[in-house]
Structure 1
């Protein structure tokens, strides 16, 4: 049986239709798989700020219709450690509109999209059985819930974000954190956003063009001493009235009385992939929202998932390799983003002993975010990489700052380059070595030599 025929018999269900679930589904369709996405509409209005890097990530994932009506960048004010910066911008997006656009992209790609809530998920001898809670979904309009047959899948993708069930999997958790999102309503205005630190946490505020204000305060669960739910809005509003950055957002506006509590605790799933399932996006690793790149972080794992799934289904002899590849990258991404947050928290020095700041400036570890590459650390090792939609083992070059390795640079395999340079005779220049040993043209050898020096893969000879 050919690979194409095998793929046509493999049905994959993706639980969740946000950026991570959508990117995974699009990648699987390109590989020829039959994919169904079950997506529950977002239960409350939410606005998120995204950067140009996030926008580029969405484009690279294959989203088109989801990006058609995005607004232009708007001003962003940041007040941190007593200093205020207004140089940055961010694009404020309506998440419900983005998710609907993702749905249109999925349907255009041939993905079956089912709007509804996931009920019980059961593992069977043949794969998985997925029941739906809502009776008024695309597949269940004419059948009561009790008569609806569960959906069957050979492979399951968990992409329901932070709300995904833990499923008994071991998880690493950071400082327990809660974000309280409140809506205010004012006159229509120009979109803008702001972030400000305060004694017990930090605030993010956004004004939407229709006059809706999104005001979110983030606290430490253990030390915040938050009041009962009935007094929660008044407590948050009292804090907001003390924050200079919040004044433009609450002036001539009134609270609607609606507040949502959301966990924003950093969580890493220690086992993010199995033989017939995988967790992507925030379901695999959810980091602190401080950096404002939640969508980018979710895409970082989702873009790798289709090749991993393809290997698990088509090359079972390489399952261990595929799972190793994926878990290593999820772990690496989580710690990288966690250290970005750690360093940003450490830059706020006014409340050094406050539990909120004290715990976060020391977690997850003391390792530097970036290390200066040590030329003596270069090693040629065999590691799993993505190759033609599959996970394969190839020789890569690792460094103290690139532990996952670099396979190619602009199409040039780097392992032969490092081997040639490390074994060249004394007195032979890197440029000449690349030409004579590897047969590179003078221009390519010169350009690669510059890159090697600039990135400290070669020692500067004195």
Structure 2
């Protein structure tokens, strides 16, 4: 029996990582994308770069990532922070295609007109081309057709301005404003980017945006330090939604949503690409299980859905805590709406040994979603299976049963004993 053909809609980091992961598992994969049509740059951390390399996107990184100095004006303070890396998205997206081609993925450039159910999935492009897929990966980001929203944050819009100035050393800055915040960057070749993020309500009409944004830049100390005189003039503007959205159902028996199509987070947390990869790196194993182990389909769907929801809440709380750091503007409408959303639960719950338990949960094992005993804690409700290669459930079950700790540890190496004792103490074991 031939392997089912998989079509991935979208060639951003999430779609590309999923496609490459599926090729590693031996699947035939076609990626369809209408490539980015406007210039953009993103600030990313070293952690994001490592995640991209792990996903097989190292070639794209080598083409597009550059280190830059970074300044922060937040809560009345002006700080020189550690460097961040500026990712030229147009160059990065072009290089992604080379990574995909090297992995053996078929690439089709085109605008998707319609996706319909017919003996699987039929994807019709604007040029009349028709693709047939046994499995569909929705990775078109925020532009993906909306699923029923399970959760939606305060309505937010970002206005990206692009212009050219004199060449200079790469640099970036972020600053808080009474009604939002702005991130800006200058690339070595003189390309300049400035993005302001605001409440979606009350934004001027499209025709008024260039002058509106230029006026906002003229009032900014960070802009005056980072850019030349050209920054004070109206520039090309691209408006896009930045509302945090968690899709309702993110996986079925022959389809899956990954990246921003599954969950889109507030850009303030700086985790946009990282969260896209987080859901995309698990997707190939979920798909592999749905196609090759259909008896585990419910387990695979549970695994993907729960982890998308957990990741979304984690990133939403990270964004909330960033907003809460802006104490000087806490009572202003923009900040008040975001410093208490999505909830009041801390990012990390305090350790509570009484809540620790062993339970069966879905895990990833040997390229498939399987079920295993894991340790559920207050801060890890989906469970922890291994700790640096050591299965935790047998250890915790023995401790909960009252077995002497020295006896429980006797079968482990000295290094593993130290690690396990430390972990148990962190969970509040008396």
The two structures have a TM-score, normalised by structure 1, of 0.90
Point out the structure with max Rg over C-alpha. 1
Say if 2:63 is the partner of 1:97.
no
Indicate the residue corresponding to 1:36 in structure 2: 30
Q: Residue 457 of structure 1: CA displacement?
A: 5.1
Structure 1 contact 380–397 (Cα < 8 Å) conserved: yes
Q: Residue 240 of structure 1: CA displacement?
A: 1.5
C-alpha offsets along residues 30-65 of structure 1, whole Å, 9 cap, x if unaligned? 111110001211010001111100000001111232
Structure 2 contact 142–264 (Cα < 8 Å) conserved: yes
Say if 2:412 is the partner of 1:440.
yes
What is the alpha-carbon distance in structure 2 between the residues aligned to residue 339 and residue 354 of structure 1?
20
Say if 2:107 is the partner of 1:129.
no
Aligned partner (choices 308, 320, 336) of residue 330 of structure 1: 308
Say if 2:221 is the partner of 1:241.
no
Change (3 A) 1:259 1:20: same
What is the alpha-carbon distance in structure 2 between the residues aligned to residue 451 and residue 267 of structure 1?
34
Aligned partner (choices 155, 168, 174) of residue 176 of structure 1: 155
What is the alpha-carbon distance in structure 1 between the residues aligned to residue 222 and residue 167 of structure 2?
19
Say if 2:184 is the partner of 1:205.
yes
What is the alpha-carbon distance in structure 2 between the residues aligned to residue 377 and residue 102 of structure 1?
44
What is the alpha-carbon distance in structure 1 between the residues aligned to residue 93 and residue 140 of structure 2?
13
Structure 1 contact 431–446 (Cα < 8 Å) conserved: no
Structure 2 contact 186–227 (Cα < 8 Å) conserved: no
Indicate the residue corresponding to 1:214 in structure 2: 193
Structure 2 contact 362–372 (Cα < 8 Å) conserved: yes
**Could you say what secondary structure the match of 1:307 adopts?**
helix
Structure 2 contact 214–235 (Cα < 8 Å) conserved: no
Say if 2:414 is the partner of 1:431.
no
Structure 2 contact 167–189 (Cα < 8 Å) conserved: yes
What is the alpha-carbon distance in structure 2 between the residues aligned to residue 318 and residue 433 of structure 1?
33
C-alpha offsets along residues 433-459 of structure 1, whole Å, 9 cap, x if unaligned? 321xxx334553344223432x23532
**Could you say what secondary structure the match of 2:222 adopts?**
helix
C-alpha offsets along residues 284-332 of structure 1, whole Å, 9 cap, x if unaligned? 0000000222111100100010111111111222111111111100000
Aligned length: 429
Q: Residue 281 of structure 1: CA displacement?
A: 0.3
Structure 1 contact 184–250 (Cα < 8 Å) conserved: no
Indicate the residue corresponding to 1:142 in structure 2: none
What is the alpha-carbon distance in structure 1 between the residues aligned to residue 399 and residue 266 of structure 2?
42
Structure 2 contact 210–234 (Cα < 8 Å) conserved: no
**Could you say what secondary structure the match of 1:303 adopts?**
helix
What is the alpha-carbon distance in structure 1 between the residues aligned to residue 415 and residue 312 of structure 2?
39
Structure 2 contact 213–234 (Cα < 8 Å) conserved: no
- Which stretch has the larger CA shift, 282-291 or 111-120? 111-120
Aligned partner (choices 134, 152, 158) of residue 132 of structure 2: 152
What is the alpha-carbon distance in structure 1 between the residues aligned to residue 297 and residue 194 of structure 2?
45
Q: Residue 154 of structure 1: CA displacement?
A: 0.2
What is the alpha-carbon distance in structure 2 between the residues aligned to residue 182 and residue 388 of structure 1?
46
What is the alpha-carbon distance in structure 1 between the residues aligned to residue 55 and residue 319 of structure 2?
25
Indicate the residue corresponding to 1:227 in structure 2: 204
Structure 1 contact 227–235 (Cα < 8 Å) conserved: yes
The two structures have a TM-score, normalised by structure 2, of 0.96
Indicate the residue corresponding to 2:362 in structure 1: 384
What is the alpha-carbon distance in structure 2 between the residues aligned to residue 209 and residue 293 of structure 1?
24
What is the alpha-carbon distance in structure 1 between the residues aligned to residue 419 and residue 350 of structure 2?
21
Indicate the residue corresponding to 2:395 in structure 1: 417
Change (3 A) 1:457 1:434: farther
Deviating above 6 A after TM superposition, structure 1's stretches of 4 or more consecutive aligned residues are none
Indicate the residue corresponding to 2:372 in structure 1: 394
What is the alpha-carbon distance in structure 1 between the residues aligned to residue 344 and residue 65 of structure 2?
39
Say if 2:273 is the partner of 1:285.
no
Structure 2 contact 349–378 (Cα < 8 Å) conserved: yes
Indicate the residue corresponding to 2:105 in structure 1: 111
Structure 1 contact 185–256 (Cα < 8 Å) conserved: no
